[in-house]
Each structure stands twice: as C-alpha cells, then as structure tokens.
Amino acid sequence: MRLRYNFRLSPTAGQRQALAQAFGCARVVFNDGLRLRQDAHAAGLPYISDGDLPKRVITEAKKTPERSWLDEVSAVVLQQALADLNTAYRNFFASVSGKRKGPKLAAPRFRSKKDNRQAIRFTKNARFSITAGGKLRLPKIGDVPVRWSRDLPSEPSSVTVVKDAAGRYFASFVVEVVKQSLPPVEAETGIDLGLGHFAVLSNGWKIDSPRVLRRAEKKLKRLQRALSRKAKGSNNRAKARKAVARQHAKVADARREFHHQESTKIIRDSQTVIMEDLAVNGLARTRLAKSVHDAGWSAFVDMLEYKAALYGRTFHRIDRWFPSSKLCSACGARAESMPLNVREWTCPCGAVHDRDINAAINILAAGWAERLNTSHTSGRDGTRRPGGGPVRPPLAVAQPREAGSRRCAA
C-alpha cells in the first residue's frame, strides 16, 4: 500500500525565493489551462483534450514574451499543475453524471496567490533525489535541508513541497509500504465516539477528549483581536496574520498527535475494531459544531482504517442508524427514548448501564452480527436484518490485560 511521509524543510532565503517562483508558475499554468477551457466552452468549441492542453499552455506559451519566464522552473512542476486540473475536471464530470459517490463536486476554480496552501509536485521524471548528506535535491531549486524524523521505507515515487498558512515548508513523499503483521491478540473492540469522552471502548476504557481548540481559544481570541486592529495591506497585518496561522497550526498538530497515539494503541491491542459510520457533516451543522470539529472524528477513523490495513487487523463500520444507546446490552430490550442528558440508565431487566459503555458493547455486537450475517436490530424503525444468530457477544473469561482501567478512565 502507498503512504505519505511528511518532513519539515528548512530552505534558505534563496531557496524560498525559488520555491515562491515555482508556486507562482504552477498557479499561472493551472489558471491559464482553466481559462482556456472555460473560453472554449463559452464559445461552443469542443473540450480541449488532456494532450493538447500542455502544448498550448506550456510549450507555446514559453515562446511568447508574456510567459517566457515559465522556462525558469522545472517543466515537471508545470505538467503536474495541469495534471491536477485534469483530475479536477474528471472528478467534476463524474460527479455530475452520477458516477462518483458522495456529495456533488463543483467545477474547478482559479487558484490565488493568497491561498493558505501553496504546493508543487515533483515526479521521478524531475530527477529529484536525496543526497548523501540527507538533503532533498530539487531541480532549479537546490539542495534543501530536511529535518528527518524517520527513515523512508522505500524509494519515493514523488515528492510534494508544501507551504502552509504559517509559512512552514514540508516535503511529502509518496512511498510503497510493505504490510506488516503485529502479534495476534484475542481482543475485539467496539468504539463509541463522543464529546464528553473522545472515545469509549467496549471493555470499559474511556479516552478523555483533549479539547485542544477549546484550550487555545483564549490565546486565539487575543491574536485575532490584534489582527483586526491592523491596517489592511500593511506589514504589521501580515505579521499578525502569520501569528494567528501559527497558533492554528499548533492546535492542528496537537490534535493530529493525539489521534496518532490513541489509534496506534487501539490497533496494537485489538484484533478487530468496530465503529459506527458517523454523519460528521450533519453534526457539524448543529450547535455542537465547534466541539465536533475540535474532536476531529473523521481523521481519527481514517487513521484507524489505514493502520488496520497496514498491520493486518480487521476494521468494520456498522450502520449509522443503529440504536446503540437505546439497546440493553444484557437483554436486548430497546428504550423508547434516550436524551443526551441521560448518562446512566436502568433496564427493566435490572441491568444498570453507563450510556457510553453500553453503546460500545452494542456496537461490537452489531459488528459481529454483520460480519457473521446474523440478525440484529438496525435502522431508525428498529427493523431486524436477516439471519438469526445471537446479537449480543457470548460470555467469556476476562483476560489478565483487562484488569483495572486506563489512567484517563472516568
């Protein structure tokens, strides 16, 4: 499987200027290609093919005085900019025709030099390389120092140089990674994501939410107020904008580190991981939007999924409408309603449930049922899927590793 390895770059002043020139040339070529196709469409002319577009936007444009400076950067950078434009058009057409799943995609838009993220890509044709001294050699840019945090598992097929809103430079390598096998374990884990606790596992472990954005709000408000007082277009406003961007980058980095640590622990200790298919886009439109974005559930679930595939574990998602909180994990009875303020409830069978732990146990049971094609309650109306096997997991002897609780358990 292919993965991306990101490393921080420390370009010199001259290299930053060369990178800025490459960012600008790639942006101009992308916009020229987009404008050419839009003009052809408005004039009723045929769609300009992927093969003809580079000839007109790069090869012929370099011969004109207006675009002669395109020859000062690597040709691969310009070709990859048009490749991104072609991909954007293909995705747009597939979305309009219904061949692409998910939300509808808009047509490609023009790039701006004021965009928060600037990027260029080098493929093997560009002959980029890593020198004996550990620097990244880029054509027409030079040997850029890299802050290596780990070794690359294989030779990279491409590298993308990114400049983020905080002014930091990164090299993103695409490498082929051989799937690894962790020692097999017997534990199977159901996970219920939430806001009170970031995640609750079916074995009773609770992971506290870091709330990195909430904790940084005071400083962010101060920096944003300072930004609002600066005159537009001034150097002081540019400095204030970068200070805000740096603080947001710290928040994002802290959240990503938390996701990596917790997802690695779960994959290492569980043979099978089962979760709900959450509708994050819908939750992000409610009054809980800030907390939902602060939790970053989608990124966490994506990490679990790719790490499970990488290390030979099983990852499964159940239907988002499965009533995990309303079902009793002991007898299977379903409560009529379960408001969010109810954190603990008692079933008529006498079982006392912690809402989140009970939901995680039910998620694990539903995942077993779906994998074994057995019957289980699903959907808003409580219908049962075909099958006939048991829904709840059978009783089992507790493992020694399950004794006690995690340090962050509530």
Strand partners, 206: 200
Q: How far is CA 129 from CA 77, 137, 189, 212, in A?
A: 15, 5, 43, 37
| 192 annotated active-site | yes
Question: Which member of 32, 294, 305, 356 is catalytic?
Answer: 356
d(CA 82, CA 26): 8
Our measurement of the distance from residue 11's CA atom to the centroid of its chain's CA atoms, rounded to an integer in Å, reads: 27
Question: CA torsion sign, 98 to 102 to 104 to 105?
Answer: negative
Catalytic member of 32, 188, 192, 294: 192
Catalytic residue among 188, 276, 305, 370: 276
> Which residue, 197, 100, 107, is CA-closest to 410?
197
Please say whether the dihedral angle defined by the alpha carbons of residues 127, 132, 133 and 134, taken in this order, is positive or negative: positive
276 flagged as catalytic: yes
* C-alpha to C-alpha distance for 296 and 252, rounded to whole angstroms: 10
CA distances from 274 to 182, 184, 194, 264, 297 (A): 18, 17, 15, 15, 14
Task: Pick the closest to residue 88 from 100, 76, 73 (CA basis).
Answer: 100
Which residues are part of the catalytic machinery? 192, 276, 356
